[in-house]
Structure 1
Amino acid sequence: MSGEPRHPRQPSAPLPDFCSLPVLFALLVVGALTVTLMWLAPGNDGDLRDYSIAVLFTSWLSVLLTVALCKLRPWMQRLPGLWPYAAVWLLLVTTVGASAAVLGWIDHNLAAGLSPASRFGFVRDCMLATGLLGAGLLRYFYVVAQWQVRVAAAAQAQVAALQARIRPHFLFNSMNAVAALIRVDPDAAERTVENLSELFRAALGSDQTSPGTLGEEWALVDRYLDIEALRLGDRLRVERDIDVPADLPLPRLLLQPLVENAIRHGVQPLREGGTVRLGGRRVPGGVEIVVENPVADAPATPGNGHGLRNVRERVRFHFGERATVDASVREGRFVVTVFLPEVTRARTDRR
């Protein structure tokens, strides 16, 4: 095949969300601090009037720049490599330069004394200050964006590890139960195979285009409990007291590991078995989900805490710092309480 080889396009560096209030706040603060430092610098003979006008000018520029960056961000994000940040820097410098030129022209014609006498020097100084401050601010935004990308990659790796981790003993026990039920109770064997297929579909991530919901997660938990009921029989007892919105966005396989730990470390080691309690209720600011199990004196398989820690990190990553996962022993029972804040903008890019 003739012709020059085509090089793959360099991936675009992610830009921050310029439509968000934190970006506007950062621009306002940087502008006000710059004016304040210049006003307090030795040799500056400006009065409070000049300082107030400068703060008002930088605040108006911050709002104008935020609107411009918000509207132009989709176009700039399509540029390859670091060109999106170069485009943002050029937009900052040119917008401030044009605004300073317009202000100087208006002030010169009205003779209001709002800007220095030298219009060229005023425009030059504004563009120079914006270029230096913009470079530093964009460097900060770039570092934050890269950090967020690394956090997202780490979280996705943890989710993939959790979804890919299917304990062999659970699979073998379930298949043995199916084999034993085929001749005795074919319907139960068929239901068990269907439940296993749903668990495998969720664990292997067959549908990663959208997040799950709390209702779907409860249904998955019920399928898992049906399989464990075949193995443990009357030793496994389940109590439910759930009154939460079923359409709440939820990462897949978030609650099932908590129920699995409750059975594996709480019910299974006890000769007489035990009761797993599943609760859910509305609380101020969100919903609260509780998974309880009895505490065994000597668990059959000591845990290492990886499952609970993984769930805690996924909850915090998906719902933010307000979300919590608390674990404690109360009155002889191990209680895991998950608080999920009801957010208006759920992070659907995380599962």
Structure 2
Amino acid sequence: MRVPPPDFRNPGMLVRTLLLIHLLVLLTVAVGSEDLVSWVGGSVEMAGIVEWPLMLCLTVLYALAPWLRRYSFRCVAICAIVLAEVSLLLCFPWLVRLSEPQSPLRWSLWTCAAASLAMAYLHWRMSAAAPAIAEARMLALNARIRPHFFFNSLNAVLGVIRTDPRRAEQALESLADLFRALMQENRELVTLQQEIDVANRYLDLERLRLGERLRMDWDLRHCPLDALVPPLMLQPLIENAVYHGVEPLAEPGEIHVRIAQRGRDLHIRVVNPLGGEIKHLSGNRMALANIRERLGLFFDLEAHMENGPRDGCYEVHIRLPLKKEEK
């Protein structure tokens, strides 16, 4: 399985790299320390020396991240190791003033070893995450449509097939399109337009059953339709809103969906009435936990999801980095 290159603009990737390098500093000093005091003092001194070339290297990698994504992990790893050595050479004239004179060769070897271990760790982590992403996609596929939805849709089609055959035909087409989208492999991110189309197919079927009780308010005025998002993310949010918010109501219920770009982030909000059934909130947990897990696998710490009752409604708010297909 091909391991994609690391994204050095991902906060989680940067934090893990920083922690790993400083852990190596602690282990390096511990080898030659005789007691706790010398170990702590030596660690502080070495960390102060390592910090300058480390921050310079990560800053350059951050700037080059869009360009590095075009190459293999091996090429990016070699580039990162070379860049670490160059950063050390650039900072070394100032670093020798902070501590006792030390051999440049010794620092060069340590830097090469530390950078190699860091890249090996990132390779291991991304290799381990790849099967997890595939498994999460399969779990998402298996849990995407509740069994009751399929049978309710067929019963609704049977209910109108004689009185309104054209509407029944359109409903079956929507059902076929929806299941076609659900049965795709969905190995990569998809455009927001595709997600909205799948959600609308689902809503067409639910309107056949709920009629005027189901009302939708789409706010897409500031929505970049070519933004990339995890596959099959929006439809389960709306399905939860229908099942837990609109269906328990005797009167019509409205679901508000607002998708907007703010700076470099994409914000998705889905708001539905509580339906007078607080106990239904527990039913949201499985689908929302699945979405939260997939957001973490795709975007690490860059994505964030909040959900819960707010102002008499139930709101799900997702923030994720804005990404678009490279042309």
Aligned counterpart, 1:138: 116
Alpha-carbon shift at residue 130 of structure 1 (Å)? 5.5
Distance 1:325 1:75 in 2: 31
- Supply the distance in 2 between the matched residues of 1:156 and 1:311 (Cα, whole angstroms): 14
- The CA distance in 1 between the partners of 2:190 and 2:174, in whole Å, is 17
Q: Tell me which amino acid in the other structure corresponds to 1:143.
A: Y
Secondary structure of the corresponding residue to residue 283 of structure 2: coil
Structure 1 residue corresponding to 2:240, chosen from 255, 258, 261: 261
CA distance in 2 between counterparts of 1:14 and 1:278 reads: 33
Aligned in 2, Cα 1:191/1:300: closer, same or farther, shift over 3 Å?
farther
Matches within 5 A, 1:128-277: 134-135=112-113, 137-165=115-143, 166-206=145-185, 208=186, 210-243=188-221, 244-277=223-256
Contact kept in structure 2, 1:294 and 1:333, CA below 8 Å? yes
Indicate the SS of the match to 1:288.
Answer: strand
| Structure-2 separation of matches of 1:212 and 1:285 | 18
> How high is the TM-score relative to the length of structure 2?
0.65
Please say if residues 3 and 73 of structure 2, whose CA atoms lie closer than 8 Å, have aligned partners that are also in contact: no
Query: Residues 214 and 183 from structure 1, CA distance in 2 versus in 1: closer, same or farther, beyond 3 angstroms?
Result: same
Do the aligned partners of residues 182 and 300 (structure 1) sit closer, same or farther apart at CA in structure 2, a change above 3 Å counting? farther
Unmatched runs of 5 consecutive residues or more in structure 1: 1-10, 42-54, 79-84, 97-124, 347-351
Matched residues in 2 for 1:327 and 1:319: separation?
18
Matches of residues 26-65 of structure 1 in structure 2 within 5 Å? none
Secondary structure in 1 matching 2:319:
strand
1:29-51 deviations in whole A, cap 9, x for unaligned? 99xx8xxx9xxx9xxxxxxxxxx
1:296 matched residue in structure 2: 275
Retained in 2: the 8 A contact 1:279–1:291? yes
CA separation of 1:14/1:318 partners in 2, compared to 1, >3 Å: closer, same or farther?
closer
Contact 2:240–2:284 (8 Å) recurs in 1:
no
Number of residue-to-residue matches in the alignment: 271
CA contact (8 A) 2:305 2:319 kept: yes
**Aligned 8 A contact 1:15 1:142 in 2:** no
How many angstroms apart in 2 are the aligned matches of 1:267 and 1:15? 44
Q: 1:157 is matched by which residue type in structure 2? A: E
2: CA distance, partners of 1:221 / 1:139: 44
Question: What's the CA shift for 1:209?
Answer: 6.2
Q: Which runs of 5+ in 2 are unaligned?
A: 34-49, 87-102
Which structure: larger Rg? 1
Q: Specify which structure has the bigger relative contact order, considering alpha-carbon pairs within 8 angstroms and separated by 6 or more residues.
A: 2
Cα distance in 1 for residues equivalent to 2:245 and 2:179: 24
Residue of structure 1 equivalent to 2:37: none
1:258 Cα deviation from its structure 2 partner: 0.6
> C-alpha separation between the residues in 2 aligned to 1:335 and 1:76?
39
Residues 1:284 and 2:250 aligned together:
no
Give the aligned residue type for 1:328.
Answer: G
Report SS of the residue matched to 2:125. helix
Q: Is the 8 A contact 2:304 2:320 kept in 1?
A: yes
Instruction: Compare the two structures and name the one with the higher helix fraction.
Output: 2
1:310 to 273, 280, 290: 290
* Offset of residue 74 of structure 1: 7.0
Once the two structures are TM-superposed, the CA of residue 161 in structure 1 deviates from its matched residue by: 0.7
Residue pairs, 1:99-138, within 5 angstroms: 134-135=112-113, 137-138=115-116
Say which SS state the counterpart of residue 289 (structure 1) adopts.
Answer: strand
Letter in 2 for 1:195: S
Render the CA deviation track for 1:130-185: whole Å, top value 9, x for unaligned. 66664454233223321222223212211211112232111111111222222221
Q: 5 Å matches for 1:87-102?
A: none
The alignment-based identity, stated in percent, is 33
- Counterpart residue number, 1:106: none
